[in-house]
């Protein structure tokens, strides 16, 4: 392990359990060893196991008090209080005041005819919710999910929802460090500092009347384009414009698609450029947020009608080409 001497504000000997200050097992040496273990271990369980091995070689041992200190130091090392996601600031975007309606109509005119059918026709056999989740977040990482609204997010181990994946409506496309983290002086489950790494970026478009798209939507409907033809056309345009192809497209359960792209190995600038491309077409600025939730592939969207009737719609995977992720 490399030598580290990070500052630990708030972690003093008085703040720790009383221990003997002898034979190199004082609080300062203990703190330094556990910090290095937490910095290099892949997850908390691995850090605790390594700390137990270390503890066996020291006298007197910490015993059952060790887990308390490992937990506190793990939370500090991975809290992100002194750094943002991946040590770099995440760019913040906003929608233009007026979307580029002319560009949108030109794209749909060129790529819209039969777009939804072309996308489905190019797909391999799509996975169900469980297999999609195993593919995008393999192993047993901490994941962010919600059954109803993104604001109801919970962070849990992937295996905790094994067999119930299709009941969820929302999923974060990136793994988390732990269940919750202290950021900005507050404990939070959903924050960029808690994202372990950016594995994917998801794109979507809000082509809705409230953003001024009403006349265009009427024109497209008159021309025979379905809402999914329109959204499919935008992703076909992105592929033609950038050469980037999604490995998965998920039906939102309403009128749009969510396209998943592999982000591993891409710089934040490259990812930002892809998201920025969507903004004139009412792309959502939060697409760049690493901790943002999107529609669970194969999950279930719960909709309430004007008559207060509950409708459950499957968020099916309409396009599946995992080779695009390799």
pLDDT tens digit sequence for 44-62: 888 889 988 888 877 677 7
Report the distance separating Cα 158 and Cα 141, nearest Å: 6
Number of domains in the chain: 2
Clarify whether residues 17 and 118 are in a common domain: no
pLDDT score of 75: 72
> 5 lies in which domain range?
1-77
Check: pTM over 0.75? Answer yes or no. Answer: no
Clarify whether residues 139 and 272 are in a common domain: yes
Q: Does residue 45 sit in helix, strand or coil?
A: helix
Clarify whether residues 155 and 269 are in a common domain: yes
Report the distance separating Cα 103 and Cα 317, nearest Å: 27
Q: Is 230 exposed, middle or buried (0-12, 13-18, 19+ CB in 10 A)?
A: buried
Clarify whether residues 20 and 122 are in a common domain: no
Residue 164 has pLDDT above 60, yes or no: yes
Residue 11 has pLDDT above 60, yes or no: no
pLDDT score of 260: 97
Section 128-145 average pLDDT = 95
Clarify whether residues 121 and 56 are in a common domain: no
Quickly count: other Cβ atoms within 10 Å of residue 74's Cβ: 23
């Amino acid at each position: 392990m490399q030598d580290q001497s990070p500052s630990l504000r708030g972690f003093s000997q008085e703040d720790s359990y009383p221990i003997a200050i002898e034979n190199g097992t004082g609080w300062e040496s203990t703190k330094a060893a556990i910090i290095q273990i937490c910095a290099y271990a892949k997850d908390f369980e691995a850090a605790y196991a390594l700390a137990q091995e270390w503890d066996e070689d020291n006298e007197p041992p910490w015993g059952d008090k060790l887990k308390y200190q490992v937990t506190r130091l793990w939370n500090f090392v991975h809290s992100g209080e002194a750094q943002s996601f991946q040590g770099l600031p995440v760019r913040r975007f906003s929608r233009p005041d007026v979307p580029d309606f002319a560009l949108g109509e030109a794209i749909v005119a060129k790529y819209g005819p039969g777009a939804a059918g072309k996308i489905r026709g190019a797909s391999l056999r799509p996975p169900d919710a469980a297999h999609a989740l195993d593919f995008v977040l393999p192993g047993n990482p901490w994941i962010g999910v919600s059954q109803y609204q993104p604001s109801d997010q919970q962070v849990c181990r992937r295996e905790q929802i094994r067999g119930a994946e299709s009941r969820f409506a929302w999923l974060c496309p990136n793994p988390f460090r732990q269940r919750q983290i202290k950021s900005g002086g507050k404990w939070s489950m959903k924050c960029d500092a808690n994202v372990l790494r950016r594995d994917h970026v998801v794109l979507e478009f809000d082509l809705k009347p409230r953003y001024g798209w009403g006349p265009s939507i009427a024109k497209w409907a008159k021309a025979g384009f379905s809402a999914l033809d329109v959204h499919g056309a935008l992703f076909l345009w992105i592929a033609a414009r950038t050469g980037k192809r999604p490995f998965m497209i998920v039906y939102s359960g309403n009128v749009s698609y969510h396209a998943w792209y592999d982000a591993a190995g891409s710089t934040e600038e490259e990812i930002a450029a892809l998201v920025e491309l969507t903004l004139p077409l009412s792309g959502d600025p939060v697409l760049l947020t690493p901790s943002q939730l999107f529609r669970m592939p194969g999950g279930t969207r719960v909709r309430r009608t004007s008559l207060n009737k509950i409708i459950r719609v499957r968020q099916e995977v309409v396009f599946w080409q995992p080779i695009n992720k390799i």
